[in-house]
Amino acid sequence: MLIDGEFINSKIIDEYKSLLMSRLDEKRYRHSLCVADEAKRLAEIYGADPCKAYLAGLLHDITKNATKEEHFCIFDAFGITLSDVEKNAQKLWHAISGAAYVKHFLNIDDEETVSAIRYHTTARADMTKLQSVLYLADFTSADRDYEDVDVMRKLVDKSEDEALLYALDYTIKELLEKGAAIHPDTVSAYNFTVLKGKNL
């Protein structure tokens, strides 16, 4: 196993970085490095495994620049069936194909790490610490510059649940403004977080 909870072999990390450089454009590669650093930082705050968080952050966008053909080759190879929402939202494909890629091509068999990559775009109800860390790190990495990023950065340092609720609310509003479908996992994540805050 590549992860032992305390140490990730630096040679393996260098190999992953080289792989990412060959697969991603410069902007996406820098984003991956920034998310890895932020995920490690948030893991230390929230009580997740920092090594797994760094690895998940590093690899979370490994198929982001893949062609449509490569995405569907991965889906077909590993029996992945997209829902109607997923078929019509290409932005979601890389999380699904990326999780399969790291599991089957990189032989990362740690399900916690794989699932964090799988849900880093949609989120899901009752996320694990690592899933939450990666989802929020993707929002608050150093390269992000959207309008509410400073608000998000303050919230992640204050409260995991408050940051999750704000991020989910932001995502849903953005999709509604675009007239886009909202993934059921995102809706479930939002409802779960709201109800958790009400102690129901």
Residue 124 neighbours by CB distance under 10 Å: 19
- pLDDT beyond 50 at 70: yes
pLDDT at residue 8 in the model: 65
The topology under which CATH files domain 10-197 is: Hypothetical protein af1432 (1.10.3210)
Per residue in 95-107, pLDDT (tens digit) is 999 999 999 999 9
User: How many Å apart are CA 112 and CA 85, to the nearest integer?
Assistant: 25
Judge whether residue 1 has pLDDT over 80: no
Rg (CA), the chain: 16
Give the separation between CA 16 and CA 139, rounded to whole angstroms.
22
- Kindly state the average pLDDT of the residues 33-48: 97
Q: Kindly tell me the burial class for residue 78, based on how many C-beta atoms sit within 10 Å of its own C-beta (0-12, 13-18, 19 or more).
A: middle
pLDDT, one tens digit per residue, over 170-193 is 999 999 999 999 999 999 999 999
Listed by start position, the domains of the chain span: 10-197
pLDDT tens for 72-86 read 999 999 999 999 999
Please check the confidence at residue 200 and state whether its pLDDT lies above 50.
no
pTM: 0.94
Find tokens 């403004």 and name the residue. 177
Interval 110-147: pLDDT, tens: 999 999 999 999 999 999 999 999 999 999 999 999 98
Mapping DSSP onto H, E and C, the string for 3-67 reads ECCCCECHHHHHHHHHHHHHHCCHHHHHHHHHHHHHHHHHHHHHCCCHHHHHHHHHHCCCCCCCC
